[in-house]
Chain A
Amino acid sequence: MKLDLWSMLFVFMLSTFIGFELIKGVSRLLHTPLMSLTNAISAIAVVGSIIIAGEQKSTATTILGTIAVFASMTNIISGFLLTDRMLKMFKKREPGK
């Protein structure tokens, strides 16, 4: 499926605005988990990396793609795990105290 420049720009603009609104709503308490979660989300670069590493059109590009999959995968795993680990720590006072 081919996309033209203008539809890509539309998608970009709309998602940036959605992003602004969503991030403004994130609790200030959670800015560190937010950053590690977006680390994991920006590892969406794994999509492009998998295609390059999978299609194996030349040795050089397969190596580049494999390193890129590795880098993205590191971010996916550590980003989600770390975010969850931090979020588990946010607790409200137990009732009765």
Chain B
Amino acid sequence: MNPGDPHHALFENLTQFTYLVATALFIFSLKWLSSPKTARRGVAAGVLAMTAAIVGTLLHEEIRRAVGEYGFFDAFKWIGIAIIAGTIVGIPLAMVPLTAVPQRTALSHAFGGLAAGLVGTAKYILWYHEGELTSFRTGAIVIECILGFLTFTGSLMAAGKLQEWIPTRPITYKNQNLYNLLLLAIAIAVGVLIIFKPNLWWLFPIVVILSLTFGVLLIIPIGGADMPTVISLLNSYAGLSAVAMGFVLENKLLITAGALDGSSGFILSVIMCRAMNRSFTNVLFGAFGQVAVKKEATGEQKAVKSTNSEEVAQILESANNVVVVPGYGMAVAQAQHAVAELASVLGKKGVNVKFAIHPVAGRMPGHMNVLLAEANVSYDSLYDLSINSEMDQCDVGLVIGANDVVNPAARHDKSSPIYGMPIIDIDKAKTVIICKRSMNPGFAGIENELFVKDNSLMLFGDAKQSIAAVVNALKGGGMH
């Protein structure tokens, strides 16, 4: 406490009051996200909450003491520079194309983890020099730094994989999980040691380096198809590192906001795991893409029937109900606008078009929904797995760049790595058209029996060009 500060109690109460308001607004912010109608109000509440939190923090006793000591300008010099620089970098990051949102999100988790790790390190340095390191404080700092730094490098790796700067295939080697767990165990053991001996300062950089290394090694074996789960999990870690920072700084706002973020990431990863019928451990240590390698080509290869855009146009035009299943391939080909136009043209011809979106389609939760929303597809035509109950009335199923999420093997083939995963039963449609670049298997590297079924037709080519050709055929076809 600063004895020379007559307004100490007033400012302290003001800070706590703004924190209280911020917490309430954060809760409303998430609550309003329950429906697209109120969702934008949720963003406004979030902005207000963050503003309140920053204003409240600027009234904090440490900041006021710095103002008294160095003068107004010098006290806010570094904060101001950082805020301006952050804004300059933040604006372009908000303008990325929507197909790049997964890597932007991963990058954002990295920044979140970095901030937590750096604040934890700074607190350790300060308290070490002031001789105020208690076991409790050191423990909270160690948790904050382990979570923060592993989120930092892990998220950078994830962003690199999503941006395809790093090979997206899982990279595995012998006893990988053993080494990884051993490394984490050492980091935790060193962390525990430093809790009991807070003044053994040289242990601290060891914890930091081990956490940074662990973050990299954790993501190396993870393939693109598991990214939705991993991104959600990293989201959770970023939130939890903010919680740990709250314990270090004894700040309730950090704990509440961090916990909201942590629980959000956790729930999303549970939803993603369930949608793949896999466990957390399996996602983190399973190296999905590897399973398929041992599957040799079995006996006779059934021939696929390929088709062309005119034929597809005719089939679609004569249908009553069409279900479109988009996948990551649609995002890669940037085909969402062509697909939306197809749906709109068909709609005008009286065909009922619905979209079936698997929870793990794409590279992050809700990825397909955002892409289709961007292309002006109305959100009431977007369905999840619940569409399976009406699939028998579907005349044509159109699969665009999706693979594993429509593989019927998941229902019956116990030897398949995706057995038990809930899929979209598009094979129950009377005709299935699969728009695909080539016969290459999907990310899981599994043969898809859907492609060789009697009612399946393959439309080979780039999704954007193929669908645009179908739209042209529909428009120019002149049939009404």
A residues sitting closer than 8 Å to B (CB atoms) are: 1-3, 5, 8, 11-12, 15-20, 22-58, 60-62, 64-93, 97
Contact = CB atoms under 8 A, between A and B. Distances in A.
B330 to A, nearest CB: 15
B379 interface: yes
Interface in B245-293: 245-268, 271
Contacts of B104: 36, 78, 82
A42 B40 contact: no
B221 interface: no
Interface residues of B, number: 118
A81 B90 contact: yes
A27 B119 contact: no
Contacts of A91: 373, 376, 378-379
Interface of B: 12, 16, 23, 26-27, 29-31, 33-36, 39-40, 42-43, 46-47, 49-50, 53-54, 56-58, 60, 62-63, 65-66, 70, 75-76, 78-79, 81-83, 85-87, 89-91, 93-96, 98, 101, 104-105, 108-109, 111-112, 114-116, 118-119, 121-123, 125-126, 129, 136, 231-232, 235, 238-239, 241-243, 245-268, 271, 347, 359, 364-367, 369-370, 373-374, 376, 378-382, 384
A56 B75 contact: yes
A92 B359 contact: no
A28 B267 CA distance: 12
A20 B267 contact: yes
25 contacts: A20-B263, A20-B266, A32-B101, A32-B369, A33-B370, A35-B235, A37-B29, A38-B265, A43-B50, A44-B242, A48-B248, A54-B63, A61-B125, A62-B78, A64-B119, A64-B122, A69-B82, A75-B111, A77-B93, A78-B90, A82-B104, A86-B101, A87-B43, A89-B373, A90-B36
From DSSP, what is the main secondary structure of chain A's interface residues?
helix
B247 A26 contact: no
